[in-house]
Structures are given as C-alpha cells and as structure tokens.
Amino acid sequence: MLEKMGEFKHQKMVDEFESNTKDAGRVQIETLRRILEENGEAEYLQRLGLNGRTDTESFKSCVPLSTHKDLEPYIQRIADGDDSPILTGKPITYISLSSGTTQGRPKFVPFNEELVKNTMQIFRTSFAFRNREFPLENGKALQFIFGSKQFKTKGGLTASTATTNVYRSEQFKNTMKDIQSQCCSPDEVIFGTDFHQSLYCHLLCGLIYCDAVQFISSTFAHTIVRAFQTFEQVWEEICTDIREGVLSSIVTIPSIRAAVSKLLQPNPELANSIYRKCSGLTNWYGVIPELWPNAKYVYGIMTGSMEPYLKKLRHYAGGLPLLSADYGSSEGWIGVNVYPRLQPELVTYVVLPDIGYFEFIPLKEKIDEEVLEKTSSTVAYMESEPVGLTEVKVGEEYEIIVTNFAGLYRYRLGDVVKVMGFHNSSPELQFVCRRSLLLTINIDKNTEKDLQLAVEAASKLLAEKKLEVVDFTSHGDSSTEPGHYVIFLELSGEPDQEVLAECTNCLDQSFIDAGYVSSRKVNAIGPLELRVVQRGTFQKILDHYLGLGGAVSQFKTPRCIGSTNSMVLQILCNNVVKNCFSTSFG
C-alpha cells in the first residue's frame, strides 16, 4: 500500500510538471503576478513606481535589470536588522551565503521559506523522473552532504550557505523520507564543524548500511571524487572500526563520536568482507558497486565546472550509471533534469515555469575583424533586449535573468546557457559558462569550457607518462609585458622537464579562440606559463573557503583566478614546485 502511495505521489509530480510546461507562457505570467502581489509593499518596488501593478509590461518598464551590486545596500539593511518590507512583503528570515568561488568572497543573498519550497519541488520532480527509470525500494542513500558554519548578522538573522539552510529545514527531512532516501549518516555528521571528520564518518556510516544503500550522491561530483580519494587512504582504519565496534580516535568532536558510536557494533564478518573486496580491486576501479552492491546509480551535479571530475568518478563507479542533478544557484533554482539516462555531458535542464519569472538576454559575439587584426580592443557579447521564457530560440545563447519569491527582481544571474530544444513549451537549457569567468588578456576570450578542453588535451599527454591531473585552475597575468596565461596543475606525480615542456606547448596551442591566436602571433599575449603545484594545494584552497564560512556541498574549484581572489592566488603561488613557459606557437 505504501509503495503504491509513493508511486501515486511521484506520478502526480510528473503530471503537474507536464501540465505547467505545456502552458509555460501562461504559468510565467501567473508566477510573476504572485511574486508581485506578495511583495507589492516592498520599498524597492515602490521606489521604482510599480504601485501595485502585476502585469509583465508594467514590471519590465518600471523595474531595471539588476546585479548583486545594485541590491547589496538593500540586502545589507535587512542583514543589519531592518525588518520593514524592503525587498519582500514578509520579512526575510535567513541570509544565504554564496560559495564565494567566483568573486573570492561570499555574497549575502536573501532566503525564505518560498525558496525551500522551490527546492523541495525540484527534488520531488527530479526524483519522480529518476524513479521511473531507476525504481527504488525503501532504503538508504550514502549522501556526502555537509552543513556549514552559521553565524548571526548584525540584525540577528541566521546566515549560512543555501544548502545548509535547506538541509536544516523540516521540509528537507520530510522530502527525503517521502522519496525513500534517508541519509546513512546522523545529523551530527552532516552538521559537524570539521569536514575531514564528517567525511570519515560518512564513509563509515555508508559501509555500516552497505546493503541498504540504493544510491550514492552529493551536491557536486567533485565531492564524491574527493570522498573516494580519501577512502583510498583510510579504508583499513574504517575496517578496524567496524571489526572492533569502536570509532577511530581521529574523530574527536564529542557530538559526532556519540552519534556514530550508537550505530557501531562489532562486526568482524562485515569488516573482513570489506577488507577482502578492497584488497582485490585494481587501482580502485569499480569500488562503489563492489562495496554497495544494491546501489543503482551515482547522483550529483556533473555539468559545467564538474565535468573535469567525470573521468575519475566513472573510474570509481565502474559500470554504475552517473546521473546529473538539477540546475540552480545560491540565488535559486532554474531547471530540472527530466532525462536521467542521458550521459552527464549531454544533460539539459527544463525550466520550471512556476518557481520564478525568467527572462533571457540574447548574446552574440561582437567581433570587429579590422579591430581584431590590430589587437587593440576586447571581444565582447553584443546584447539585445531580454526575451521571455517561451520566446527563446533553439541553438542560441542567452544570459539568464531571474525574478524570484525572495526579493530578487530582474537579477542578472551571470550564467550563459544554450537552448537545446523544448520540453512542451518550456526550453531545455545547457549550461555554457559563467559570464564573468573569462580568461582574457587582450582581445582574447576563453571560457571555463575552453580551459577545460585545453587541460583535457594536456591530460592525454600526461596519461602516457602515468600522470593524472588532480585539479587545475588559471590566471590571466597582466603584471608582465605582454601579459600571459598561467595554468596551475596539481598532478598525481612529478613530471620531468621534457614532459613539462611538451605539456606547456600543448596547452598553449589548445586555445583556439581567434582573439588568443591572433594576439599570440603578434606577441600581444606572451608565452603560456604552466605552474605545477604540490599535492594537496587544492585542498588548501577548499580549506580557505571553508574558513570563510562556506560548505563543501557548495564549493566549486574556481577555474579563473582574478584580482579579487588574491588569497587563492597567493595559496597557488606559494605552492609552485615547477614551472615552464611555452616555446612555440602555431
């Protein structure tokens, strides 16, 4: 009976999604009307002269496009304790912190119960489509999820990452029960104050319930990879814990020790089985299905900046399917993956027309060929007037504008997406890049994807020498004359100078952007520099962000380090063990 009730709930979510996307234009108008009715008293909207109107024409004519910088003074007043209707009709109850990986410091973002409801809607819709393809029974999930530190703003509001605000909500816990995916780990592990101790206990708890685990997940793919890289180092100690029923001394936080110790019982049979399986693996290939035999898939965000981790994740997952999770940001959710069997590299996201009001700025590259030859200007996007959700065109690229229930109005998210098709009348989006994350010196414009492709090309050379790229980032160094690209690589071993030189030249020649190529040919951009950093450097970068109040669940390795990220650049430069400049081009 319970199973049939669950199936009914899931089908209801699918039916609701199909109904909304079939009439996306009407749903968008209704969603904007709801947002403006609920927040009509807000000072921000009143100042702009909206005067309670809720139609799209009035909204667009009165309310300008905005960025975080435009809204920051209003958000700061809220954080400082002003509970008048500033951005929303009802008071903002929480402040979310962005990851801080883009600009080098976390941003304050307004958060309320409506955003929690949106998140649960995304979770339930996504699960309904996943469950049709990979049906789950009552069981558990090995979820590598981590809360972050909380603090009080000057005005007494609780500030934390958006993921932490969600994980602490009752709605989240109830939703996880509904979709039969209770986390193996107790809350004390999820919200522990030490990432390394929490990660150790996630692995341990996952093995205690190894036969009940139906899928392995985390917010981002790199967290799962990091978890199993850690497992390679600590698996024997975990076996000892399970064999003896006593938690390792490396876990020192009393609340975590008490909670996990309740789950631990001496189990020599399980410990011996894990030891035997791990000892029989070749280079840890297929460790996930080996230790969790009833797991049906691995789940997390695997697109955009997560793509470089897919090769390693596939190695750990063996033949287990990798399912890419949904599309959102600290500011709110955008789309859901309704085609879970697609390879992560091909995933698209269907916009949910009832979780916010969406507009799209058409983007086309603005390149003046004459100027390009003289190498004296910057390549830019040529912008047109924003269009509505149902007015976008297949094959075109756009920047997303979001209006949500938490006080963001015509907010430029900074994400560039490509429209790949339509699901009913709602567009299917493919994430392209962050607009602000550009590697540029002169008239060149290389995106995160361009960088990723260059590193992939160099990785093939390194693989021939049994070397693996652990992680990478970049920096446009304008302190030299001419300026040049700097690529930072953390490798699994130490390359000799010949391999390093070959790798550096490969990186330089893999950037095929016209502005870069022409600038290199006339020496308007200098030779590319490769800097190899010592092992553990990117862990230090993660630790830096955690120290700023971030959470592992929200962390993305910054791929282009700008001047606002001086601390991260300093960490990288302080850990360089080898460097090399390219010697040929074209």
* Strands of 182-183's sheet in order across: 182-183, 140-143, 213-220, 297-301, 322-324
Q: What is the predicted pLDDT for the residue at 46?
A: 92
User: How far is CA 458 from each of CA 361, 374, 453, 455, 489, rounded to the nearest angstrom?
Assistant: 35, 30, 9, 5, 10
pLDDT at 369: 41
Given 3-state DSSP classes, what are the helix, strand and coil percentages for the chain, each rounded to the nearest 5?
45, 20, 35
Report if pTM > 0.75: yes
Q: Nearest-5° angle of CA 105, CA 548, CA 491?
A: 85
Main-chain dihedrals φ then ψ at residue 88, nearest 5 degrees: -135, 160
CB 255 within 8 A of CB 338: no
Determine how β-strand 297-301 pairs with β-strand 213-220.
parallel
Residue that is written with structure tokens 């690209």 in the block: 485
What does the pLDDT read at residue 377?
A: 32
What's the chain's average pLDDT?
85
Amino acid at 377: S
Contact (CB, 8 A) for 166 and 122: no
For residue 99, what pLDDT is reported? 57
What are the residue ranges spanned by the domains of the chain?
1-113+328-434, 135-320, 448-581
Residue 224: which of 271, 292, 148, 294 has the closest Cα?
Answer: 292
Contacts of 194 (CB under 8 A, 6+ apart): 253
Return d(Cα 488, Cα 511) in angstroms, integer: 15
CB 416 within 8 A of CB 398: yes
**pLDDT at position 100:** 56
pLDDT tens per residue across all 586 residues of the chain: 334 445 667 788 888 999 999 999 999 999 999 999 999 899 999 999 888 899 999 999 999 999 989 999 999 898 888 888 999 888 888 887 775 555 556 678 888 888 888 888 888 898 899 988 998 887 888 999 887 677 778 877 777 776 776 777 777 777 766 665 678 899 899 888 888 899 999 999 999 999 999 999 998 898 999 999 999 999 999 999 999 999 999 999 999 999 999 999 999 999 999 999 999 888 899 999 999 999 999 999 998 878 888 989 999 999 899 999 998 887 888 999 999 999 998 999 999 999 999 999 998 754 444 333 333 333 345 667 899 999 999 999 999 999 999 899 999 988 889 999 999 999 999 988 777 667 788 777 787 888 888 998 988 888 888 888 989 998 888 888 888 899 999 998 888 888 899 998 888 888 888 888 888 888 888 899 999 999 989 888 888 877 776 667 667 788 888 766 678 888 998 999 989 899 876 5
> What sign has the CA pseudo-torsion 246, 250, 252, 257?
negative
Provide the 3-class DSSP secondary structure of residue 335.
Answer: strand
